[in-house]
């Protein structure tokens, strides 16, 4: 069935002014319908600000072969996704902040069952005290659960990453769940012109899901008991699967470009890096702001560049090493804090860069503090004046 | 095809070729859950099933990867999630027109306690799931701690002086969801057990079966006396065997004489009540009250054995 016949009679416009929440819901719908000739689509959904609009829109969609279950908690939302995915259908849910914390046990389970579930996560401050604005601490809390994590910069990226995410997650060389992360309100509720593909294009891009360990009639116990050696083997297999991600991701980018005529960004997004001596590294929408500051610095003749870490898991160590080779001053911008340590991206990156180079951490924009070009200008001035790195700078921008 | 012999109690060609619980499992001798699984196997017969088992003795039963002591597909879910994982399986079965019966097999901890919200929500949505709670009135898998299914007076490792609170009325809770079928099952009455399991397997929507499941390890009782304990629980009135249709129509299946002698014997045969300070007269008063209410709900209509 074509996409046009599903709506309320209006024809499907290729470009719409929509929020990132709606971009994710529309992409999930397209991906769900693309599996209609296989086992279909499903998921458990539960509201939490600022993600709710996504699942509201999803609950208004019709599926030839799909079922969205309105559950009583995030913990059950992911449990339903686990059941759906184990049954061979494509699974989707969305959450944020404390919802992700409550869901955590089944987030781990989804990954250890090796299920290609896709979750749209809106990055929101963990409480208490309660704060609905952006902070990356929630999904970073789930950093080591064995999921892939992609952080987006704009609404188009959110839509495209959901589509690309399914193809990546469902590849037999990968079979890992994926979190598509986007900044609360900066993206979730902000409308942007977004190119929405036709169902036929998505059908051509997304192969039907064929889960090798789908539960049918075979008398096996999935997720039973392991002795230490079996767990070692399972973890090693899991780790090896993450090592396939760079290659499969590249293939997905190629296929995406062929199907939709635009190329999703690399796992690490370089900007004016070739001759840069000073680099700002960041995630999410902060990266867009960093580019503005890079442009301003370049006009003053300063050799500054930016790296956006789009994929945090698996950690793009290969690309970061390549791009940061020979760069003497690196400023790492974190919208998160591991109390007593500093920024999480910074602590990861220190292990990659090493040596005597200046890798300075700036924690800013926690709790939704609006990160403006002037703040990043201050960061850059500080970085340029440094001869060596010091303690992480915890900045107040709000 | 011929009817199963002796009302289904004897293995016949109509039965499942492979038992749900395979021989060679490491369950304790006298385990009520194992008996329940054997009945379930007969009841399932040729029906295609998928089972979801949360953390509990039932998942330890499966044994070590990659082997499985279950002769059916089993998903080991997280503790609180069996009814939600089963929801996902049932949803995909439905949209694909599969005949698969999705069964949750959970202990009292995963049902009365940690899984309560998940269970209640799945019942409220009337998911197409058969949920079986084998209730051994204890966290058996972790070595015998109190759950909200532990009866008043019972010693557990976390209630060294005996439990002071009364057992939660899970049947009342499930009936309040007005699901198509709720029943308590007697392991001491195979025909009752098999009839209810078969009936529940063939219904659509949410079905809940409760099995009082003797646990010699936790109850500090003789493995050989498990079925006798169930008989005593029924004769004393402690365990009422009844079924509820759509949360409205109550039917008592096994009449109880509410014998004080049976009550005394039930307590005396179990080490978990040895240090108990509980007054059997007050227990019996509570039993009488429960039965009065039950008989009112059943419209005084009861079917004798």
Q: What is the pLDDT of residues A277-327, one digit of tens each?
A: 999 999 999 999 999 999 999 999 999 999 999 999 999 999 999 999 999
Residues 27-86 of B with CB under 8 A from A: 48, 50, 52, 59-60, 62-66, 68, 70-78, 80-81, 84-86
Q: What is the mean pLDDT of chain B?
A: 93
Please name the residue of chain A whose CA is at the shortest distance from the CA of residue B55.
A224
Task: Report if residue B112 sits inside a domain.
Answer: yes
Q: Which of A61, A79, A93, A233 to mutate to test the interface with B (most CBs of B within 10 A)?
A: A79
pLDDT tens, residue by residue, A50-76: 999 999 999 999 999 999 999 999 999
CA distance B95 to chain A (A): 6
- Describe the strand order of the beta sheet including A278-282 as a list of residue ranges: A268-271, A304-309, A278-282, A329-334, A358-363, A393-394
Contact with chain A for residue B121, Cβ under 8 A: yes
Supply the Cα-derived Rg of chain B in whole angstroms: 18
Place B300 in a pLDDT band, splitting at 50, 70 and 90. low
Domains and CATH numbers, chain A: 12-260 (3.40.50.970), 268-394 (3.40.50.920)
Q: Which residue has the tokens 């009250």?
A: B289
Task: Report if residue B187 sits inside a domain.
Answer: yes
Residues B192 and B241: beta-carbon distance below 8 Å = yes
Contacts of B117 in chain A (CB under 8 A): 72-73, 76
Name the strand (E) or helix (H) holding A394.
strand A393-394
Assembly ipTM:
0.94
Task: Report if residue B223 sits inside a domain.
Answer: yes
Across the range B273-277, mean pLDDT stands at 87
pLDDT above 50 (res B305) = no
> What DSSP state is assigned to residue B302?
B
Task: Report if residue B304 sits inside a domain.
Answer: no
- Name the 3-class secondary structure at B176: coil
Task: Report if residue B303 sits inside a domain.
Answer: no
Are the beta carbons of A72 and B96 separated by less than 8 Å? no
Q: Which residues of A176-213 are buried (b: 16+ CB within 10 A; e: fewer)?
A: bbbbbbbbbbbbbebebebbbbebebbbebbeebebee
Across the range A218-236, mean pLDDT stands at 96
Task: Report if residue B305 sits inside a domain.
Answer: no
pLDDT above 50 (res A5) = no
pLDDT tens, residue by residue, A133-190: 999 999 999 999 999 999 999 999 999 999 999 999 999 999 999 999 999 999 999 9
pLDDT above 80 (res B302) = no
Supply the Cα-derived Rg of chain A in whole angstroms: 21
Please give the pLDDT value at position B17.
Answer: 81
pLDDT tens, residue by residue, B175-188: 999 999 999 999 99
Q: Which of B48, B62, B96 minimises the CB distance to A40? A: B96
Task: Report if residue B34 sits inside a domain.
Answer: yes
Q: Which of B34, B33, B41, B59 is nearest to B136 (CA)?
A: B33
The two structure tokens encoding residue A90: 């494509």
pLDDT above 60 (res B222) = yes
The residue range of the domain holding B217 is 5-297
Task: Report if residue B302 sits inside a domain.
Answer: no
Residues B120 and B113: beta-carbon distance below 8 Å = no
CATH number reported for the structural domain that contains residue B210 in this entry? 3.40.50.970
Percentage of chain A beyond pLDDT 90 is 95
Question: What's the N-to-C CA distance of chain B in angstroms?
Answer: 27
Are the beta carbons of B88 and A66 separated by less than 8 Å? no
Are the beta carbons of B68 and A106 separated by less than 8 Å? no
**CB A353: neighbour CB atoms within 10 A?**
18
Please give the pLDDT value at position A1.
Answer: 34
Please name the residue of chain A whose CA is at the shortest distance from the CA of residue B96.
A39
Residues A290 and A282: beta-carbon distance below 8 Å = yes
How many interchain CB pairs under 8 A, A with B? 156
Q: Which of B77, B91, B96 to mutate to test the interface with A (most CBs of A within 10 A)?
A: B91
pLDDT tens, residue by residue, B11-55: 666 678 889 999 989 999 999 999 999 999 999 999 999 999 999
Please give the pLDDT value at position B16.
Answer: 84
CA distance B3 to chain A (A): 25
Count up the domains in chain B and report the number. 1
pLDDT above 50 (res A8) = no
Place B199 in a pLDDT band, splitting at 50, 70 and 90. very high
Please give the pLDDT value at position A196.
Answer: 97
Alpha carbon distance B122, A45 (integer Å): 13
Are the beta carbons of B92 and A42 separated by less than 8 Å? yes
Give the contacts of A289 (CB within 8 A, at least 6 positions apart).
A371, A372, A373, A376
Across the range B111-128, mean pLDDT stands at 98
Please give the pLDDT value at position A364.
Answer: 98
Place A355 in a pLDDT band, splitting at 50, 70 and 90. confident
Are the beta carbons of A89 and B50 separated by less than 8 Å? no
DSSP β-bridge partners for residue B159: B156
pLDDT above 70 (res B5) = no
Q: What is the mean pLDDT of chain A?
A: 95
Q: Which of A221, A227, A230 to mutate to test the interface with B (most CBs of B within 10 A)?
A: A221
Contact with chain A for residue B149, Cβ under 8 A: no
Are the beta carbons of B78 and A71 separated by less than 8 Å? no
Place A13 in a pLDDT band, splitting at 50, 70 and 90. low
Across the range A379-395, mean pLDDT stands at 97
Contacts of B63 in chain A (CB under 8 A): 221, 224-225
């Amino acid at each position: 069935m074509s996409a046009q016949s599903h709506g309320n009679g209006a024809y499907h416009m290729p470009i719409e002014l929509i929020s990132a929440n709606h971009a994710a819901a529309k992409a999930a719908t397209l991906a769900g319908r693309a599996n209609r000739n296989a086992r279909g689509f499903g998921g458990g959904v539960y509201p939490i600000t600022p993600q709710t609009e996504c699942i509201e829109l999803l609950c208004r969609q019709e599926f030839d072969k799909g079922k969205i279950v309105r559950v009583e908690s995030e913990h059950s939302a992911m449990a339903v996704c686990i059941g759906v995915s184990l049954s061979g259908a494509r699974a989707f849910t969305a959450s944020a902040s404390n919802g992700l914390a409550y869901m955590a046990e089944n987030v781990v389970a989804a990954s250890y069952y090796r299920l290609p579930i896709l979750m749209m996560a809106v990055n929101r401050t963990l409480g208490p005290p309660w704060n609905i604005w952006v902070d990356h601490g929630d999904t970073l809390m789930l950093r080591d659960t064995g999921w892939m994590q992609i952080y987006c910069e704009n609404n188009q990226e959110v839509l495209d990453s959901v589509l690309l995410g399914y193809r990546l997650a469902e590849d037999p060389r990968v079979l890992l769940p994926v979190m598509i992360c986007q900044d609360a309100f900066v993206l979730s509720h902000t409308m942007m012109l977004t190119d929405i593909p036709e169902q036929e294009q998505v059908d051509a891009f997304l192969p039907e899901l064929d889960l090798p360990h789908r539960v049918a009639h075979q008398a096996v116990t999935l997720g039973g008991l392991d002795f230490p050696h079996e767990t070692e083997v399972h973890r090693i297999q899991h780790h090896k699967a993450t090592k396939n991600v760079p290659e499969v991701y590249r293939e997905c980018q190629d296929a995406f470009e062929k199907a939709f005529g635009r190329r999703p960004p690399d796992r690490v997004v370089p900007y004016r890096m070739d001759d840069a001596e000073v680099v700002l590294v960041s995630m999410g929408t902060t990266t867009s702001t960093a580019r503005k500051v890079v442009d301003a610095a370049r006009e003053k003749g300063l050799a500054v560049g930016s790296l956006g870490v789009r994929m945090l898991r698996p950690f793009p160590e290969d690309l970061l090493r390549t791009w940061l080779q020979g760069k003497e001053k690196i400023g790492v911008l974190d919208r998160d804090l591991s109390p007593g340590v500093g920024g999480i991206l910074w602590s990861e990156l220190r292990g990659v860069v090493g040596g005597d180079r200046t890798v300075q951490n700036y924690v800013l924009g926690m709790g939704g503090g609006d990160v403006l070009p002037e703040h990043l200008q201050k960061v850059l001035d500080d970085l340029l004046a440094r001869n060596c790195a010091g303690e992480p700078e915890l900045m107040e921008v709000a | 095809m011929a009817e199963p012999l002796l009302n289904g109690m004897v293995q016949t060609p109509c039965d499942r070729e492979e038992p749900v619980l395979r021989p060679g499992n490491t369950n304790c001798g006298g385990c009520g859950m194992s008996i329940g699984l054997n009945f379930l196997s007969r009841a399932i017969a040729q029906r295609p099933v998928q089972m979801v088992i949360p953390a509990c003795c039932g998942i330890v039963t499966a044994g070590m990867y990659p082997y499985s002591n279950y002769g059916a597909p089993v998903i080991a879910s997280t503790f609180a999630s069996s009814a939600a994982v089963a929801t996902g399986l049932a949803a995909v079965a439905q949209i694909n027109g599969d005949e698969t019966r999705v069964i949750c097999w959970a202990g009292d901890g995963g049902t009365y306690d940690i899984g309560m919200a998940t269970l209640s929500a799945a019942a409220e949505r009337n998911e197409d799931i058969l949920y079986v709670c084998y209730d051994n009135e204890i966290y058996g898998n972790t070595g015998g701690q109190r759950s909200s299914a532990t009866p008043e007076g019972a010693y557990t490792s976390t209630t060294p002086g005996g439990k002071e609170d009364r057992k939660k009325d899970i049947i009342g809770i499930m009936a309040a969801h007005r699901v198509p079928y709720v029943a308590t099952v007697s392991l001491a009455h195979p025909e009752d057990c098999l009839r209810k399991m078969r009936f529940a397997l063939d219904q659509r929507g949410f079905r809940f079966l409760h099995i009082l499941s003797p646990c010699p390890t936790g109850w500090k009782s003789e493995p050989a006396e498990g079925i006798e304990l169930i008989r005593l629980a029924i004769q004393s009135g402690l365990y009422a065997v009844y079924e509820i249709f759509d949360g409205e129509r109550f039917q008592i299946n096994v009449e109880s004489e509410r014998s004080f002698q049976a009550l005394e014997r039930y307590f005396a045969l179990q080490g978990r009540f040895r240090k108990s300070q509980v007054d059997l007269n007050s227990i019996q008063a509570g039993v009488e009250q429960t039965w009065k209410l039950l008989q009112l709900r059943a419209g005084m209509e009861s079917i004798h054995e």
